[in-house]
Structure 1
Amino acid sequence: MSTAEESGPLSGKVALVTGGSRGIGKAVALELAGRGADIAFNYFRSHEAAAATEQEIRALGVECLRVRAHLGDPEKIGELFTRVTESFGRLDILVNNAASGVQRTLEELEEKHWDWTMAVNAKAPWLCAKEAVKLMEGGGHIVNITSEGSRTVLPYYFSVGTSKAALEAVTRYMAVELAPRGIVVNAVSGGYVETDALAHFPNRDEMLESGRRSPAGRLVTSADIARVVAFLCTDDASMIRGQVVVVDGGATLGPPG
């Protein structure tokens, strides 16, 4: 990854990455920062991880704002965007990465688990986009992070998979409704990525082994996904609209020959 001073396709841009303190969100924040964008990100649990991420971003020569905010609470979303407005006064890129969920089967899942997952994974990206539009006066880019569980039925993924399917529908509607404002909207769907989130799945080892058997011969990394997200935030991708770009090493094509 290059520093902001050496390359600047996103220099002068401001990006908000939700859930940007670790995992895929952190990789995206660092990739955008490395291309010159000032970064804002929210986190919910670990102050230490968030502070460390902020330091890494600032070391790339850009500004960084970190805000503790649980995106399942619409009031906290409002507070997050107030902080972004106060710090930067504008927004060019929104990456809806923050996600949550309960790994249970249909019968084991409780109503509160469903509501929690939908609030963070589908409702929050919509609310964040509504706020982001107010700050994207000259147009911008929105990228939603989804997963292959939206189309492929995975064990223990009932609530998350359905919420990601909803997010992909949100992506398509956003792409059409926000196009007149000069806002480009897409989604990126990653394969199995070895992050802390995967540790909560009872079948974690099986999932990782499946990812390693992809035609690419290795697991997808957070950096792989981050580079595609960054591309979708450039003018070169301006004619890609409302699409779900799959980054899985070919895993969903079937077993390698």
Structure 2
Amino acid sequence: MQEKRKPYKGKVAFVSGGSRGIGLAVADKLAQRGANIVFTYLRSRSDAAKAEEKLAVHHVRVLSLRANMGNEDQVTKVFEMVKSEFGALDFLIHNAATGDLKPVLGISTDEWQRTQDINVRALLQCAQLAAPLMRGRHGRIVAISSHGSSRCLPDYSAVGVAKAAMEALCRYLAVELASRGIGANAVMAGTTDTQSLRGIPRHEEMIHSAKFKTPAGRIGHPEDIAQIVAFLCSEESRWIVGQTIVADGGYSIVA
């Protein structure tokens, strides 16, 4: 019975951007199932400390690391810590995201590159560093995407392109890593109630529109996405390969 309640006991999960929102919900769900957690955060040490407390309730090891996922040296150091502290890795969840919200013709090359670095180049580097740590462990890679990867959202060009590239990268990772027993997929999260969402201009308008178009009449909660990520980390998901799972409560199917 204990093993059924803690199917990920002894496993190690890395969650980028795991101190709040979807990242924290994912880390919490994996910790509930017994996984030890390593998560990164960028700005708020207070948020990270609160996340540590929340995760420690599940009696798992928790390691938080401040890192800019767009910085190659910092990402390398993060995985050196993972190897030093745990010696292996089972789940890589790439959730960290940022981007300058500007019209296509108004975004600078530096802003564009920063957005690509954190959203998609970081996934590439993380996968390259994680794969050796997953050897013989049937590892799983899951990236968090958004509607902007396939739909044109206002001032979302840089992030949308990065998310689309991230989904494509998941497909290539899935094919190239399949022979090693490592799976890779993406989750396209619809409008989800997070601190990041509420920091976007016109977020109230976005929330109202999403509620109206979603059959359930609400926007998503971080836990809705976390449930799907946790499933994609399971052995039961082994036949889902290189897919982008749409998790938006039906928003995208309503005319």
Question: TM-score if structure 2 supplies the norm length?
Answer: 0.96
Q: Give per-residue Cα distances to partners, 1:8-32, cap 9 Å, x unaligned.
A: 1111110000000011000000000
Letter in structure 2 aligned against 1:159: A
Give the match for residue 239 of structure 1: 239
Give the match for residue 166 of structure 2: 167
Matches within 5 A, 1:60-75: 60-75=58-73
Q: Give per-residue Cα distances to partners, 1:115-134, cap 9 Å, x unaligned.
A: 00000001000100000001
Letter in structure 2 aligned against 1:244: T
Q: Distance in 2 between matches of 1:17 and 1:216?
A: 29
Q: Distance in 1 between matches of 2:223 and 2:150?
A: 23
Matches within 5 A, 1:160-239: 160-213=159-212, 214-239=214-239
Give the match for residue 121 of structure 1: 119
Give the match for residue 81 of structure 1: 79
CA drift of 1:6 comes to 7.5
Letter in structure 1 aligned against 2:227: R
Q: Give per-residue Cα distances to partners, 1:178-199, cap 9 Å, x unaligned.
A: 0011001000011101212113
CA drift of 1:5 comes to 8.1
Q: What SS does the aligned partner of 1:178 have?
A: helix
CA drift of 1:211 comes to 1.9
Q: Distance in 2 between matches of 1:198 and 1:107?
A: 23
Structure 2 CA distance for partners of 1:240 and 1:194, relative to 1, 3 Å: same
Give the match for residue 250 of structure 2: 250
> Unaligned regions of 5+ residues in structure 1, if any?
none
Contact 1:41 1:65 in 2 (8 A): yes
Q: Cα RMSD over matched residues?
A: 1.2
> Unaligned regions of 5+ residues in structure 2, if any?
none
Count of paired positions: 252
Q: Distance in 2 between matches of 1:135 and 1:55?
A: 27
Q: Give per-residue Cα distances to partners, 1:57-99, cap 9 Å, x unaligned.
A: 1111111011111111100011000111111110000001100
Q: What SS does the aligned partner of 2:38 have?
A: strand
Letter in structure 1 aligned against 2:118: V
Q: Percent identity?
A: 44
CA drift of 1:207 comes to 1.1
Q: Distance in 2 between matches of 1:25 and 1:14?
A: 15
Q: Distance in 2 between matches of 1:131 and 1:80?
A: 10
Q: What SS does the aligned partner of 1:196 have?
A: coil
Q: Distance in 2 between matches of 1:36 and 1:5?
A: 9
Letter in structure 2 aligned against 1:166: A
Q: Distance in 2 between matches of 1:37 and 1:141?
A: 13
Q: Distance in 1 between matches of 2:77 and 2:98?
A: 20
CA drift of 1:7 comes to 1.1
Q: What SS does the aligned partner of 2:54 have?
A: helix
Give the match for residue 137 of structure 1: 135
Letter in structure 2 aligned against 1:53: A
Q: What SS does the aligned partner of 1:86 have?
A: helix
Contact 1:211 1:220 in 2 (8 A): no
